[in-house]
């Protein structure tokens, strides 16, 4: 099965078109929403304008992913390292989740999208925390696409937290060290119960993971478009998926 060519196309260097196979969609797409500040600087605008434009890009991509039938979309909204940025920028970034949810929550609910959080909620400012809690509660019963916000998230901190919890279980005699398996670690990650990302997208021109889903992305297909996140749109998402569908995923094995 393919989606209508007029709706979902990409052009290769020869000018030909290729459709996206809906039977081979990535179940989980992870995105580092990078390049907002540089997008703004190129236009002589403050960095906050770039973050505002980045939120509009998020709206476009969430709609497109849901329409395509993507099961999980995880977006890197704010890292544990982002607290080091100037205070006025951090305060602005902490207002964006509230602003996004104020305008988009009704649509998320109408499209049966469930919001989840990866990160430490209690460390967020009260207004951000309450807006997220409200959205989590009001979309908890939805059964469509999962929109997973990585907010106040750091992958190393996530792994340390998982190790501490497992170590406590060993100390209490609830499990033995030899009982610890990959699925044991996975059960204590923020993404417990979700499939690992099939496709990892980072616009902005950087080609690094930046402490995002390090465990979960062990076998993700990586795509680094040389555009800034505020310019990212449906076309770029489709191009990423088309690229993914042309990859040969062997998971360390070989095809005989």
User: Domains in the chain, please, with CATH?
Assistant: 21-154+195-245 (3.40.1180.10)
Question: Going by C-beta distance under 8 Å and a sequence separation of 6 or more, which residues neighbour residue 101?
Answer: 115, 131, 132, 134, 135
Backbone angles phi, psi at 222, to 5 degrees: -100, 140
pLDDT digits (tens, 9 = 90+) for 52-95: 999 999 999 999 999 999 999 999 999 999 999 999 999 999 99
Residues 211-223 as b/e (b if ≥16 CB within 10 A, e otherwise) read bbbebbbeebbbb
pLDDT at 152 over 90: yes
* Whole-angstrom distance, CA of residue 25 vs CA of residue 1: 11
- The H-or-E segment that residue 92 falls in is helix 87-110
pLDDT digits (tens, 9 = 90+) for 156-202: 999 999 999 999 999 999 999 999 999 999 999 999 999 999 999 99
Range of lowest pLDDT (2-11, 80-89, 203-212): 2-11
pLDDT digits (tens, 9 = 90+) for 103-121: 999 999 999 999 999 999 9
**39 CB-contact burial (10 Å; exposed 0-12 / middle 13-18 / buried 19+):** buried
Q: Is 199 within 8 Å of 221 (Cβ atoms)?
A: yes
Residues that are catalytic: 34, 82
Q: 192, 174, 172: which is closest to 183 by C-alpha?
A: 192
Q: Is 180 within 8 Å of 166 (Cβ atoms)?
A: yes
- Strands 10-11 vs 114-118: parallel, antiparallel or unpaired: unpaired
Give residue 9's pLDDT band: very low, low, confident or very high (50, 70, 90): very low
* Whole-angstrom distance, CA of residue 221 vs CA of residue 199: 5
């Amino acid at each position: 099965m393919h989606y209508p060519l007029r709706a979902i196309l990409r052009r290769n260097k020869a000018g030909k078109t290729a459709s996206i196979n809906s039977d081979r969609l990535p179940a989980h797409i992870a995105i580092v929403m990078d390049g907002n500040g540089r997008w703004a600087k190129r236009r002589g605008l403050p960095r906050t304008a770039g973050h505002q434009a980045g939120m509009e890009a998020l709206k476009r991509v969430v709609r497109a992913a849901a329409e395509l039938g993507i099961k999980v979309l995880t977006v890197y909204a704010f890292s544990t390292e982002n607290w080091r940025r100037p205070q006025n920028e951090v305060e602005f970034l902490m207002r964006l989740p509230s602003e996004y949810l104020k305008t988009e929550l009704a649509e998320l609910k109408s499209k049966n999208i469930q919001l989840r959080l990866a990160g430490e909620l209690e460390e967020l400012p009260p207004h951000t925390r309450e807006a997220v809690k409200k959205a989590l509660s009001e979309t908890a019963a939805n059964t469509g696409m999962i929109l997973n916000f990585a907010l106040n998230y750091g992958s190393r901190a996530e792994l340390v937290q998982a190790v501490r919890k497992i170590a406590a279980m060993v100390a209490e005699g609830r499990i033995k060290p030899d009982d610890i398996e990959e699925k044991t670690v996975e059960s204590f990650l923020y993404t417990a119960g979700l499939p690992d990302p099939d496709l990892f997208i980072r616009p902005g021109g950087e080609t690094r993971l930046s402490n995002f889903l390090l465990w979960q992305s062990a076998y993700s297909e990586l795509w680094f478009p040389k555009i800034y996140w505020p310019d990212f749109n449906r076309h770029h998402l489709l191009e990423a998926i088309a690229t993914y569908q042309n990859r040969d995923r062997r998971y360390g094995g070989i095809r005989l």
